[in-house]
């Protein structure tokens, strides 16, 4: 296991993601950290956090990459077989951990990763 640095930027970004019940885009993270670090540093930190099994990323219905905290993942071993709910009104994306789709593929196909994004209206916008 390689040792990674805990920079102020890494600590702040991880804290933002851990404290949020919604997934955050790079742009949202950049707005929240302000002048602490630039956009390239944010990308590097997010990549490192994903490698360490602390966050996962997915593409929402608008084509925007979002990041959310992991639950039970380990370095190099991500398990994200849940759906992501994208609200069409407020554009917030929420991980729905207790909704796990069942997938049946023909035997000659090997699933390595999948991403489920469901669109609709969240409870706050109804």
DSSP 59-84: E-TTS-EEEEE-SS-BTTB----SEE
Give yes or no for residue 114 having a pLDDT over 80.
no
Place 1 in a pLDDT band, splitting at 50, 70 and 90: very low
Domains, the chain: 8-120 (1.10.10.10)
Q: What average pLDDT does range 92-102 have in this prediction? A: 76
Residue-wise pLDDT tens digits, 6-32: 689 999 999 999 999 888 999 999 999
Tell me what pLDDT residue 51 has: 86
Give yes or no for residue 82 having a pLDDT over 80.
no
Tell me what pLDDT residue 73 has: 63
Tell me what pLDDT residue 26 has: 94
Extract the tokens encoding 36.
């602490």
According to DSSP, the residues that pair with 84 across neighbouring strands are 95, 117
Q: How many CA atoms lie within 13 A of 79 on its CB side?
A: 6
Give yes or no for residue 4 having a pLDDT over 60.
no
Contacts of 101 (CB under 8 A, 6+ apart): 81, 83, 116
SS3 content of the chain, % helix, strand, coil (to 5): 30, 25, 50
CA distance 98 to 96: 6
- How far lies 54's CA from each of 47, 85, 91, 103, 111, in Å? 10, 20, 23, 25, 22
CA distance 21 to 19: 7
Residue-wise pLDDT tens digits, 30-81: 999 988 889 999 999 999 998 888 888 888 888 888 898 876 666 666 566 6
């Amino acid at each position: 296991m390689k040792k990674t640095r805990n920079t102020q930027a890494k600590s702040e970004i991880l804290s933002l993601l851990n404290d949020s019940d919604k997934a955050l885009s790079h742009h949202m993270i950049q707005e929240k950290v302000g002048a602490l670090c630039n956009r390239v540093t944010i990308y590097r930190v997010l990549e490192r956090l994903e490698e360490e099994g602390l966050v996962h990323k997915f593409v929402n219905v608008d084509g925007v990459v979002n990041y959310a905290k992991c639950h039970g993942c380990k370095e190099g071993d991500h398990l994200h077989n849940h759906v992501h709910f994208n609200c069409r009104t407020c554009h917030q994306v929420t991980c729905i951990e207790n909704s796990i789709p069942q997938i049946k593929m023909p035997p000659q196909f090997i699933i390595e990763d999948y991403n489920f994004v469901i669109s609709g209206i969240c409870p706050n916008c109804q």
